[in-house]
Structure 1
């Protein structure tokens, strides 16, 4: 795999972010697009599908403790079945218990969760560019061609925030510190 040039990295990042934010943009008076309320199902599905394959114990522990974890587990199990993929034993046991009513969705925490999913998508976009060979960040004196710069430019083109290197870098380092190897941050 070759490392993309900066323009291609911006294009790929923008395409990824658009797919994550899908149906969450509305036209503004000047004809541009503005992000509106972000719905996390696609991000939740992507996140859960990875977790069910790599670390189902973590997914179902999260599902017991948190409403978003429960919703993520439901989507991941449904997606896995729909795709005809084998269902891990933990997932099968969880699904049976849920259908019997032995497991119920935990009470949701108050407040909006859109920022959290927004930041996970940003982290995933930077992670994708790093996996393609780009440097994640840079120091202030270096040329602005890092993965964080590319994602910031994509966000700027999409008309959403953070549209600066510093803002994306802050999210990158905060989310990267939460990563369990192979599993996106929650």
Structure 2
């Protein structure tokens, strides 16, 4: 076993060599290590995209909800079952269109940001990440946080849409029950009338 005692006379030389080694570290190495520890470009780009997509979703889901509620209230006063079915189908299709539009927004951000080369690639990548299927191909290392951020926006938007859809289904069932009850009452009234 070697003696681990250090000669005190050699200590200043060791400190001097270590200091020299530390001062020779290139700034690009420090920047690269910082970028790997905190991927700021993709967090900033992805974070602003996330905020924009959620605000976009909030705006349009509110319009869809208001439209559905206004029309369902009008149908409550007297309508046929097919009109209620048509209203519900239109609301579901509008929600689907909203999610497709959000994929297009992400695809546009990827293309405009120069992260992918064309719209088809951007749309394919955004759709896979937005639906949380996973990234179909790897982005450069500086953009490694972007796929999870896109997935977060999709998961959040799908959950929000699902909660609105539950409300729509309840309203849809109430409308159908109201129409069927009214039709049944009218049938009974016709039977009773002389």
Q: TM tier, shorter chain?
A: under 0.3
Between structures 1 and 2, the one with greater helix share: 2
TM-score, normalised on structure 2? 0.26
Larger radius of gyration between Structure 1 and Structure 2: 2
